Amino acid sequence: MKTNLLYHTNSFTYECTATVVAVKGDEIALDATVFYPGGGGQMADRGTISWDEQNEQANVIAMNKRNDIVWHTIDCAPPAIGAQVVGSIDWDFRYQMMRTHTALHILCGIMWKELGVQVTGGQMYPDHARMDFSMENLDRERIATIERWVNEAIVADYPISVYTLPREKAFAIPDLVRTRINLLPPQIEEVRIVEIVGLDLQADGGTHVKHTKEVGGIKITRTENKGRINKRLEIMLLDSPEYTQS
Ligand SMILES: [Zn+2]
């Protein structure tokens, strides 16, 4: 049994019909879902599942992906196995998350391309995010430059493409090797790739927008010293870049 992960094939699908294939307490598994279960720093989706011709509706309050099955924790008595349901995610929340997630890819790509700096971790929230980098120097001037580079890349409107590669092929790409691709479980034969064409390449299971312009803009709101060679950057999502083009 496997859940068809519709958020992987099209991140812009916010609703789908599905069949309940398993029930465990207050968790239900569906044959297909639009709900992102969380992971890779991206928060799980929220939303509703309705059934009995929409007469019954539950809120999805937590998500879990175990093996190939996505489990939705709901806040009322679950539908029976075999029931037809409609799953709808909170699209505003998800789309913000997609913009934030994409912003982090841009930041990551810029830091590597311009400064040769590697990312060491990150976490995103709907409209802001933080990312840690292994670097020594992060003064005010450099922060301003990074912010400008990221906003310029947003405006340049790079396309973002999502595809899968066989494991061996993915492992042969130097840009992927520098990320955490080596942490992928050995049983994974196909690697999902998210590429900001010309800027960033990642093995990634999350959801992203289609063009960098959709991000809007970012502001670096805070930095923190997490060690001699570890710096944290916090970014906030903007509806448009704040910088003035020179
Ligand atoms: Zn991603």
Per-residue pLDDT tens digits for 99-145: 999 999 999 999 999 999 999 889 999 889 999 999 998 999 999 99
Read off the amino acid at residue 232. Answer: R
Do residues 131 and 232 touch, judged by C-beta distance below 8 A?
A: yes
State the distance from the centre of ligand 1 to the C-alpha of 59, rounded, in angstroms: 26
State the distance from the centre of ligand 1 to the C-alpha of 101, rounded, in angstroms: 6
What pLDDT score was predicted for residue 246? 47
Q: 42: which DSSP letter?
A: B
State the distance from the centre of ligand 1 to the C-alpha of 77, rounded, in angstroms: 34
What pLDDT score was predicted for residue 184? 76
What pLDDT score was predicted for residue 126? 84
Give the Cβ contact number of residue 212 at 10 Å: 27
Closest C-alpha to 140, from 246, 222, 242: 222
State the distance from the centre of ligand 1 to the C-alpha of 56, rounded, in angstroms: 34
Per-residue pLDDT tens digits for 55-72: 999 999 999 999 899 999
Tokens encoding 237: 């999502």
State the distance from the centre of ligand 1 to the C-alpha of 98, rounded, in angstroms: 8
Q: How far apart are the C-alpha atoms of 245 and 74, rounded to whole Å?
A: 48
State the distance from the centre of ligand 1 to the C-alpha of 209, rounded, in angstroms: 10
Per-residue pLDDT tens digits for 220-229: 999 999 989 9
State the distance from the centre of ligand 1 to the C-alpha of 84, rounded, in angstroms: 31
Segment 3-7 shows an average pLDDT of 97
What pLDDT score was predicted for residue 181? 65
- What is the 3-state composition of the chain as percent helix, strand, coil, each rounded to the nearest 5? 25, 40, 35
Whole-prediction pTM value? 0.93
Mean pLDDT score across all residues of the chain: 93
Do residues 3 and 32 touch, judged by C-beta distance below 8 A?
A: yes
What pLDDT score was predicted for residue 243? 61
State the distance from the centre of ligand 1 to the C-alpha of 145, rounded, in angstroms: 23
Return the percentage of the chain with pLDDT > 70, whole number: 96
**Does the pLDDT of residue 242 top 90, yes or no?**
no
State the distance from the centre of ligand 1 to the C-alpha of 83, rounded, in angstroms: 33
State the distance from the centre of ligand 1 to the C-alpha of 105, rounded, in angstroms: 6
Per-residue pLDDT tens digits for 147-192: 999 999 999 999 999 999 999 899 888 878 766 666 777 888 899 9
